[in-house]
Structure 1
Amino acid sequence: MQTDSSFTFVLFGGTGDLSMRKILPALFEAHRAGGMLADSGKIVAVARHAADRGEYIQWVNEHVKPHVSKNGVDETAWSSFLERIEFVKIDLGNPEDFALLRDAVKDLPGIRVFYLATGPSLFVPICRALASVGLNENARIVLEKPLGYDLKSSNAINDAVGEIFAEEQIYRIDHYLGKEPVQNLLALRFGNALFEPLWRREWVESIQITIAEELGVEARGDFYDNTGALRDMVQNHLLQLLSIVAMEPPHSMDSDSVRDEKLRVLRALKPINPLDIGKVAVRGQYHSGVIRGTAVPAYATEPGVKPNSTTETFVALKVEIENWRWAGVPFFLRTGKRLADRVAEIVVNFRAVPHSALGASALRAGANRLVIRLQPNETIRLYCLAKQPGEGMNLASVHLDLAFDQFFREGQMEAYQRLLLDVINGRLALFVRRDEQEAAWRWVEPILNEWKASNKPPKPYAAGTWGPAAASAMLAQHGTCWLEEEN
């Protein structure tokens, strides 16, 4: 992915955690690879926690280096990367300071990219301040999640930003869409005749999508306690992954063709009846427990969390899509903090053969399945049955692996690296369009409202487990179980 596109990349929140862990490391990897970033491209960090460029570069050396290049830092590449970086000290609460930014970038070449690695409360003030000094022309704006607290607040942000930037200038980022296995899911489905005929209700029994974390809320207690797992993960990451899995083949891979098909999936989600929420939605909150031999505290005792908090740290949902391809196929979504393992995966369970002359093992659920692992290691694994060596026709489960780091010699591109290059080069396909976001909020809101109205506390689960038992019981009602429970 090479480019000659000159750019000025303006990073708001330039000293923040996201900038240190993800954004600047991703830009460095693109720089180090050579040819991905135009030589003339500049990075302008905006913050108020550094006095000048020298202090900011020292900050970057201390906080970014630990997150780049797993095999060590190429000091020559690192030094040349730092030469790309400029710094502007701005108080984002003072619109008059944006004249300093205008003066800093006015002579820099290429398209301007404004990356808002800040809280959503600052999105609208920053956009208005940019417009006040004429920086909304020849520009692209990147918005991090969460974009609002509900449909109303999301629309308010989108309306205000939309008055300043056209929709084709707005890049709503969801880093899961930039992961290599998600891209390969599109390649598997739409580049091979093998899977497409099977990718439908006649041959698929159920689909599971899991994003599990071992970590708790860390230093984000104040934010998380006002957000919860449904807003933080389901409304965006999980529903975006579901739409990729379930979408119809687009007529091309241009941005609107892909996003049109995802939107059709989101609009086809079966609305959840408030009376059925207890059957198809499980919310939980972690209590104290042990993870990999280390005792961890309960959510309610985490810094910044209210002691009597009813915020959910775990959600499991049964979702249905009302269209011809997927009618009747349950999609089970799950996410949580302080779970037994850090894993993100998509599991496609195919139906058993209708009749077996080879014994009952060929009829068991899950004999044929596709497991797309997004993290920690990125792989795609296809399970099928084969005869065991020896006498008799005894079947055993075997699998075919596509391990990207072993099959492809060139290094994998991290999700943020791919997405940032797409912004610089004007590719919108992997970013969320406004109507997608609205459709996701419309589907999620009744669940939020019912949980709030019922005032029932989340179900407890011990840290280091896979969540409340009710999540397993929900799948058992459909004659299936979560993937890890089969082992």
Structure 2
Amino acid sequence: MTHASASASAPDNALPLDMTIFGGMGDLAMRKLLPALYMAYLHGNLPGSTRILSTGRQHIDREAYLAHVEQHSRGFIAKGNFNDKTWDGFLQLLHYVELDVQNAPDFSSLAAASRQGAERVFYLSTAPSLFTTICDKLAASNLVDANARVVLEKPLGTDLASAIEINEAVGKHFAESQIYRIDHYLGKETVQNLMVLRFGNSILEPIWRAPNISSVQITVAEEVGVGSRAGFYDGTGAMRDMVQNHLLQLLCIVAMEPPTSLSPDAVRDEKLKVLRSLRRFSLADIARDTVRGQYGHGVSGNQEVAGYLEEKNVPPDTRTETFVALRAHIDTWRWSKVPFYLRTGKRMARRSSKIVVEFANPPFPLFPGAPGGVANRLVIELQPEEAIKLQIMAKQPGSGMQMQQVALNLDLQSAFQQRRAEAYERLLIDVVRGRLTHFMRRDELEAAWEWADPIIDGWATLGEKPHPYAAGSWGPSESFALLARDGFSWVE
């Protein structure tokens, strides 16, 4: 491939850029943020006057920090994208600032390292409990001005009250237009392409509604277990970690009405309407229409793996769910009586994220021997590969009118020659360029918690243990029964 000159094709930006990563020595920074910024630099999408300041409590110098980056971050860059000269140039952008966020005097070191008049981006890759402290001390150090932006990494709170508290604390120093609540699923190419698919094609928009659509499935399945995150995860669970943010955001894009424009607020206004139209769950609804699971011992990736209760730092009697499936309804004319099935879990059969839109079958079976099941299905695959497939019925070759399901497959890899940026790269470029469309607004976040909180509270009231499922499976059998009641089945 041809490696672009970072300086030659960098966007015209009147201000120099100082991007500060709090938690800059952490796992997210090494695995995702720095590789994404390298790719942005490689393809000329960072201002030529960019500096990246990583903060950490470790008492090390810049050389030791760069050695840490070499060891822990370089390996997450695909070999086909790596270039020694470009990497050396990228390393010149990196600086290390020793800083304990609990220690106010340490922020003077950051202030000294920051350039006057620069566009400052503060990426808070820390525990949310530190967001308030960091923003307060940034403001006290005169680092927050009209050109400053702050990126908040999830989870944004553990419930509505804590989310409001974080929003209030950050909002004291940053205007809403300066706050970027990041959800990397919104940076995926196929998720963003869903907007074009829906609203740019006259063949789809008229039928994107009840009764033409019979159901929608959204699955985010992870093959991995909790691993080193067990201590954090056990206080969170799948509902807070995945459903309240990732899956609801995907649901909003599937279900939203056409926005009046592509401006950030126009798009986010429509997503907010979806969240406010989600039917609230009563205790009876929770008992009937939600399934919690917890993985046990099993086989994953051809290896025996421990169950959740056997993971390090997991309490032996915990009832934290590692799997959630539920049936949701959106109370609008467009989606009347259309069930939305959401599913996410760890230690599933394989890594797979997809949206499945099932269209209603023809009202009369004209062709003899027609196979049962769903005739037409739109499958939007998000990972591990990104693709869009439309399942239709076609005649089998030969005599007679026997039908067979076939797929019209839009393979984005082969359909477009342009390079497709990874989610974090795309979203970080959006932050640098001040584009808010693919970030959550405050009222969106709080509306999502307003819907999720009663479900979490209802589980506590019911007091039932999560249903067990074997690692390497597709979750507890109860999740299959949830769909079978309505005549549907999960699309694996």
When normalised by structure 1's length, the TM-score is 0.97
Number of equivalences? 481
Q: Is the 8 A contact 1:4 1:37 kept in 2?
A: no
2:128 aligned to which of 111, 120, 137 = 120
The answer as to 2:30 corresponding to 1:20 is yes
Take 1:481 and 1:157, find their aligned partners in 2: how far apart are those partners? 39
Take 1:402 and 1:3, find their aligned partners in 2: how far apart are those partners? 31
Query: Offset at 1:162?
Result: 0.8
The answer as to 2:280 corresponding to 1:289 is no
Aligned to 2:4: none
The DSSP-based 3-state class of the residue aligned with 1:71 is helix
2:401 aligned to which of 393, 401, 407 = 393
The CA deviation string for residues 191-244 of structure 1, in whole angstroms up to 9 with x for no partner, is 111110110012000000000001000101110000000000000000010001
1:320 aligned to which of 324, 329, 336 = 329
Take 2:486 and 2:462, find their aligned partners in 1: how far apart are those partners? 26
Give matches, 1:15-94, under 5 Å.
15-34=25-44, 36-71=45-80, 73-94=82-103
The answer as to 2:185 corresponding to 1:187 is no
The DSSP-based 3-state class of the residue aligned with 1:436 is helix
The DSSP-based 3-state class of the residue aligned with 2:370 is helix
Q: Is the 8 A contact 2:19 2:52 kept in 1?
A: yes
The DSSP-based 3-state class of the residue aligned with 2:227 is coil
Aligned to 2:173: 164
The CA deviation string for residues 107-155 of structure 1, in whole angstroms up to 9 with x for no partner, is 4x63110000011111110000100011111200000001111111111
Query: Offset at 1:292?
Result: 2.5
Q: Is the 8 A contact 2:369 2:402 kept in 1?
A: no
The answer as to 2:395 corresponding to 1:382 is no
Letter in 2 for 1:373: E
Take 1:252 and 1:237, find their aligned partners in 2: how far apart are those partners? 24
Q: Is the 8 A contact 2:10 2:48 kept in 1?
A: no
Take 1:134 and 1:31, find their aligned partners in 2: how far apart are those partners? 28
The CA deviation string for residues 359-381 of structure 1, in whole angstroms up to 9 with x for no partner, is 3527x432101000000000011
Q: Is the 8 A contact 2:223 2:472 kept in 1?
A: yes
Aligned to 1:351: 360
Give matches, 1:80-479, under 5 Å.
80-107=89-116, 110-137=118-145, 138-361=147-370, 364-479=372-487
Take 1:268 and 1:359, find their aligned partners in 2: how far apart are those partners? 41
Query: Offset at 1:93?
Result: 1.2
Aligned to 2:19: 9
Letter in 1 for 2:181: R
Q: Indicate the larger mover: 50-59 or 136-145.
A: 50-59
Query: Offset at 1:38?
Result: 1.2
Query: Offset at 1:69?
Result: 2.4
Q: Indicate the larger mover: 284-293 or 255-264.
A: 284-293
CA RMSD of aligned residues (A): 1.2
Take 2:162 and 2:186, find their aligned partners in 1: how far apart are those partners? 24
Take 2:353 and 2:322, find their aligned partners in 1: how far apart are those partners? 16
Q: Is the 8 A contact 2:23 2:124 kept in 1?
A: yes
The CA deviation string for residues 339-370 of structure 1, in whole angstroms up to 9 with x for no partner, is 101000000000011123223527x4321010
Take 1:442 and 1:359, find their aligned partners in 2: how far apart are those partners? 49
Query: Offset at 1:2?
Result: 6.3
The CA deviation string for residues 398-445 of structure 1, in whole angstroms up to 9 with x for no partner, is 111111111111221100011000001110000000100111101011
Structure 1: gaps spanning 5 or more residues = none
